[in-house]
Amino acid sequence: MATGSVKLLGSWASPFVNRVEIALKIKSIESHELIQENVLNKSELLLKSNPVYKKIPVLIHDEQPIRESLVILQYIDEAWLNGPSILPSDPYDRAIARFWAAYIDEKWYPLVAEYRNAEGKEAKAAVVEKMSGGNLLLEEAFIKINKGKSFFGGDRIGYVDIVLGSLLGWVKVIEIMDDMKILDETKLPSLAEWDERFFSDKAVKDIIPQPEKLVEAYQKYIEMKKATSNY
C-alpha cells in the first residue's frame, strides 16, 4: 500500500478535481489535504507543480506531482491497492474504459463548453443536435459495457462512471440556466437511471456540489473575469 503525504491542488467547483476526490474516497484515502486554488490567480505551488499546463488538478503524493485528472485516476488505482479497483482488471475491459473516458473528455464534454459559448437560439440548437448524437452513443456504450449491472464499472462505480459523472453537475447548470434537458430520460432511460444511482452513491455524496451552488459559482466567476479584463 502506498504511503506518504497526499495533497490535492484544486477547486471545490472543478469537475476534474471532483474526480480525484471521488477516487481518493473509494480508496479510503481520507487524510489528504485539499489546497484550494484560484484559477484567475494561480499560486506559485500550482505553477511549479504543473509548469506545462498550469492548471488543476494536481495530486502531490510524497512530494511528487501527478497531473491531469485521467492520469491521476489511473495513478491512484495503481498506487493504492487497498479498496475497490477503479479500472477493470481485464486488459480488454480496461482498454475499453480508457477509450470511453477519452471520448467523454475529448469529444462529448467540449460540446458543453461550445453550447455555453453559442449565441442565439439557432446556434445553441445546432450544438444540442450534436450533443444528442453523443448522448445516444453513451447510452449504447453503457448498456454494452455494464453487462446488466448498475454502473459502467459493474456492481460499483468505476473509471468511466467517475469521468462522466463528475461532469454532470455542470451539465445540470446549463439545464437550469436555459430551462432545457440534455440528458432526457425519455431518450436515454438507462443513462437517466444511472445518473440517479451515481449521485446517490456514498463515494459521490458531499463531493460533487449541488447544481444551484454551481450556478452561483459560475455567475460569480463571469463577474470576476469581466472585472479582471477591464484592468
Q: Give pLDDT tens digits for 119-160.
A: 888 998 899 899 999 999 999 999 999 989 999 999 999 999
How far is CA 119 from each of CA 14, 43, 123, 126, 216, rounded to the nearest angstrom? 24, 33, 6, 11, 21
SS3 label, residue 65: strand
Residue at a domain's end among 79, 101, 135: 79
Whether residues 204 and 122 share a domain: the answer is yes
SS3 label, residue 67: strand
Whether residues 115 and 180 share a domain: the answer is yes
Res. 183 pLDDT band, cuts 50 70 90: confident
Whether residues 65 and 119 share a domain: the answer is no
pLDDT of residue 1: 59
DSSP 29-53: -TT-EEEE-BTTB--HHHHHH-TTT
Cα 7 from Cα 4, distance rounded (Å): 10
Q: Give the three cell numbers for residue 66.
A: 501527478
At residue 55, φ and ψ (nearest 5 deg) are -145, 165
What's the pTM?
A: 0.93
Q: 226 pLDDT exceeds 90?
A: no
- Residue 224, domain member (yes or no): no
Cα 138 from Cα 123, distance rounded (Å): 23
Res. 3 pLDDT band, cuts 50 70 90: confident
We report the CATH number of the domain holding residue 149 as 1.20.1050.10
Res. 5 pLDDT band, cuts 50 70 90: very high
How far is CA 71 from each of CA 157, 197, 223, rounded to the nearest angstrom? 18, 25, 32
| Residue at 102: amino acid letter | A
- Residue 223, domain member (yes or no): no
pLDDT of residue 40: 86
Res. 220 pLDDT band, cuts 50 70 90: confident
Q: Give the three cell numbers for residue 167.
A: 461532469
Residues 6+ apart with CB under 8 A from 53: 67, 68
Q: Give the three cell numbers for residue 136.
A: 445516444
Show the domain range for 115: 91-212
Whether residues 97 and 53 share a domain: the answer is no
Q: Are 88 and 35 in contact (CB under 8 A)?
A: no
